[in-house]
């Protein structure tokens, strides 16, 4: 069974641009979560989608948005990029058969560099 | 809201020695507790979790953790480490009353195993 796939693996953008990151969950998983990882702030929750609906949202500005498609694949978008958006963006998927974080499967992430 | 504190940012240890990585949390509601490991250039992998029941939890790769409610701690231990255990370890919590997958992570502890 394929794991969580994130594309692209690396991305370089300049300030003011926008970027779209993609995440394909494990087959059958309906929950997809996104996290931002930086050396200074650590791992921070961005948002979670379940059955195409945003179920939870972290404390990030509106420049960060996401969506989930009917096949459970998810994308996140960051508009008007700032230098501080440079980070590893991790996606995690879950079967979500119970209302607990029984087990999240993480992808290897997309490393975004903003110049 | 929840918060997680990992008291040591780095822990150097010799191979075959025991190790303890400390984690304390704060929450106004009951939580589930997790330890994840991140190897270089990879995503996070679940080591173990505490949902309920026995406070001593055994995980993969010989790791175990003990939940102490009175001290709000969830320390990770291994009796004998290997070079391959060199990685970053993250403690995380999730509120029981949260309908979905949303983890709050600690800042991480870098375990450095020396030969």
* B43 at A interface, C-beta within 8 A: yes
Give me Rg for the CA atoms of chain B.
14
Of A48, A55, A108, the CB nearest to B42: A108
Q: What is the pLDDT of residue A101?
A: 56
Cβ neighbourhood burial of B101 (10 Å; 0-12, 13-18, 19+): buried
Q: What is the pLDDT of residue B28?
A: 87
What does the pLDDT look like over A51-103, one tens digit per residue? 899 988 999 999 999 999 999 999 999 999 999 999 999 999 988 655 555 67
The percentage of residues in chain B with a pLDDT greater than 90, rounded to a whole number, is 77
Answer yes or no: are the C-beta atoms of A1 and A27 closer than 8 Å: yes
What does the pLDDT look like over A3-59, one tens digit per residue? 999 999 999 999 999 999 999 999 999 999 999 999 988 999 999 999 899 988 999
3-state DSSP assignment of residue B15: coil
Query: Whole-number mean pLDDT of chain B?
Result: 93
What does the pLDDT look like over B42-85, one tens digit per residue? 889 999 999 888 889 999 999 999 999 999 999 999 999 999 99
B39-44: average pLDDT? 88
B75-103: average pLDDT? 90
Task: Inspect the interface and report whether the beta carbons of A31 and B94 lie closer than 8 Å.
Answer: no
Nearest to A44 by CA among A88, A96, A98: A88
Burial A37-60 (b: 16+ CB within 10 A, else e): beeeebbbbbbbbbeeeebbebeb
Interface mutation vs chain B, best among A32, A100, A111, most B CBs within 10 Å: A100
B7-21: average pLDDT? 97
> Which residue is it, tokens 């953790």?
B65
* Closest alpha carbon within chain B to A94: B101
Q: Residue A30: count other Cβ atoms within 10 Å of its Cβ.
A: 16
DSSP designation for A26 = P
Nearest to A82 by CA among A59, A64, A70, A109: A64
- B2 confidence band (pLDDT: 50, 70, 90): confident
Q: What is the pLDDT of residue B5?
A: 96
């Amino acid at each position: 069974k394929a794991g969580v796939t994130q594309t692209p693996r690396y991305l370089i953008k300049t300030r003011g641009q926008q970027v779209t990151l993609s995440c394909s969950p494990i087959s059958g998983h309906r929950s997809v979560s996104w996290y931002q990882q930086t050396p200074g702030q650590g791992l921070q929750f961005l948002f979670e989608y379940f059955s195409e609906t945003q179920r939870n949202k972290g404390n990030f500005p509106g420049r960060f948005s996401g969506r989930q498609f009917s096949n459970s694949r998810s994308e996140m978008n960051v508009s008007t990029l700032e230098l501080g958006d440079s980070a590893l963006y991790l996606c995690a998927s879950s079967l979500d058969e119970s209302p607990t974080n029984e087990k999240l499967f993480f992808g290897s992430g997309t490393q975004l560099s903003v110049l | 809201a929840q918060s997680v504190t990992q008291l040591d940012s780095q822990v150097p240890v010799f191979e075959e020695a025991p190790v303890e990585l400390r984690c304390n949390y704060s929450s106004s509601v009951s939580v589930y507790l997790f330890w994840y490991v991140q190897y270089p250039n990879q995503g996070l992998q679940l080591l173990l979790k505490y949902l309920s029941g026995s406070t001593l939890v055994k995980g993969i790769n010989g790791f175990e953790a003990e939940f102490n409610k009175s001290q709000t701690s969830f320390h990770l231990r291994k009796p004998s480490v290997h070079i391959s255990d060199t990685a970053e370890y993250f403690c995380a919590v999730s509120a029981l009353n949260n309908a979905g997958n949303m983890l709050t992570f600690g800042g991480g502890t870098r375990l450095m195993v020396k030969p």
